[in-house]
Amino acid sequence: MKDRVLRIIDANLNRAREGLRVCEDIVRFAISDKDSARCLKLIRHNTTDALLHNPRLPLKKILKARDTKKDVLKTVDFKKRKRIDIIDIFMANVERVKESLRVLEECSKIIDEDTSFEFRRLRFKTYDAEKKIVTKLLAISDNGQCPIKR
């Protein structure tokens, strides 16, 4: 059973970091917001650090539990919503991050309460960053200057 939980943690750790990287790059390159980019980078690094030196949830064990061959949804195509502009891309990825952090919070409770609390803290930091960044993205969009719009 523990390997199954570790597989869930592995998938969501990857998903959270990937989504954070997309959001970070949008903030860095599309709106040039240094403070928000740093905030997202810190959340991304702290997401990894929550497990990096954790003897109860070591990254080596998590990676060892990875089994992409048994992932029953890896080849299923989902109908995805068309992305219209950079705000849509940001919103889709920040939602992915928040959902993944919630899964990490819940699943790590089984193994280590402190790590679970850290993922909860990061999830709430993500909520705060999202509000600040979306406000800036919408201000740009409202002015008709939304970057990278199709």
* Tens of pLDDT, residue by residue, the chain (150 residues): 588 899 999 999 999 999 999 999 999 999 999 999 999 999 999 999 998 878 888 778 888 877 777 776 666 666 666 768 899 999 999 999 999 999 999 999 998 999 999 999 999 999 999 999 999 998 887 655 545 444
* Angle (nearest 5°) at CA 7 between 4 and 8: 90
pLDDT of residue 149: 46
Counting every residue, how long is the chain? 150
- The answer to whether 108 touches 115, Cβ cutoff 8 Å, is yes
Terminal Cα distance for the chain, rounded: 46
Enumerate residues 6+ apart whose C-beta is below 8 A from 90.
22, 23, 26, 27, 133, 134, 137
Helices and strands, counts by H and E, the chain = 5, 0
pLDDT of residue 114: 94
pLDDT of residue 76: 65
**Cα separation, 38 vs 104, whole angstroms:** 22
